[in-house]
Structure 1
């Protein structure tokens, strides 16, 4: 999973970055709303961790602007606030959880794991459960081969980002450009989706 952490406290920012990175998460950090906005523009994330109280504004306003831009990334707020109105507004915008300062980093890790252990990824008419590895189209289960499933999961989990061919090769039983092209063609046909080939770079499942 790739996370974006927005926290203006330098020490807490560095502590959480180190802790989450050691647990296997890829973490980009921002100390300001401006930095966070730039990162969300240039990258695709699985989860936002947003502080609410910031010198230039607050994390709720940032999430509101992201939602207006049709960014539906799940969000956990980090806050010292106990204001119920702020919490209510955050949940209306699609926040999946709050964690109140001060907190043990282990608690944040537990909350992230709990929220994503049964998280279903959606794309157009498709629903994918990473835990059960089941793909559904309008309720009907679609059977993909093991190789195709791995490739689809990688593309979907990093939707909007170009995945290098070398990374997709890891999903293949026998590595070759032809085998990769065939697998992706079958995925497109079975799932009725478009996967674009970015010449010389790799493949991308574009954001909707």
Structure 2
């Protein structure tokens, strides 16, 4: 399951993409204009962007360029009716990962999405200072020795790493750590943050009243 941001100003096609991808098990956030899409990137951490190119106000290339300049490395597939090689080149130069032309074959789009998401997993081990974190098993190591970390502490570490240096909002952290049937606890969250700060005393920062951010440098 991936969290996907769809930016497509054709309302009918936007709804078609939403229905199709939700049926495939993904979580969709859909918008019709780049300004709303930009706002959503501050509210959520996405696994993939699907951006139309020809949009009101600014095109999809320009929006992705802004995101890349801010340090956002979320993979992006452009969806467009453009056929010229210059546009294709521009899309990749702005940081795009793939490109599909309209009219879109939904089965082909699904295969392209799967391919891009698989490429994300290739970096299974994340190096954080003197430590290594396996993002698939959610296990923290130092020199091949497994370190003590609670289940929620591991999930919190993964959530902060997915933020790629950005502030992860408190609501989003609680949504990841506690199920709908559980009551989220600010006190418990502080305990899990303290667990991580034993290993990462300087990398994790509290943005008071907003959330937490983490640097892996």
Q: Match for residue 188 of structure 1?
A: 197
Q: For 1:32-111, what aligned pairs fall within 5 Å after superposition?
A: 32-111=33-112
So what's the TM-score if we normalise by structure 1?
0.73
Q: For 1:145-164, what aligned pairs fall within 5 Å after superposition?
A: 145=149, 147=151, 148-157=153-162, 160-164=167-171
C-alpha RMSD over aligned residues: 3.5
Q: How many residue pairs get matched? A: 200
So what's the TM-score if we normalise by structure 2?
0.71
C-alpha separation between the residues in 2 aligned to 1:149 and 1:206? Answer: 14
Shift of residue 76 of structure 1? Answer: 0.9
| Aligned 8 A contact 1:50 1:76 in 2 | yes
C-alpha separation between the residues in 2 aligned to 1:109 and 1:163? Answer: 32
Shift of residue 93 of structure 1? Answer: 2.0
Shift of residue 131 of structure 1? Answer: 4.0
- What secondary structure sits across from 1:63 in the alignment? helix
Unmatched tracts of structure 1, length 5 or more: none
Shift of residue 156 of structure 1? Answer: 3.0
Segment of structure 1 superposing worse, 81-90 or 190-199? 190-199
Q: 1:10 to 1:66 in 2, by over 3 A?
A: same
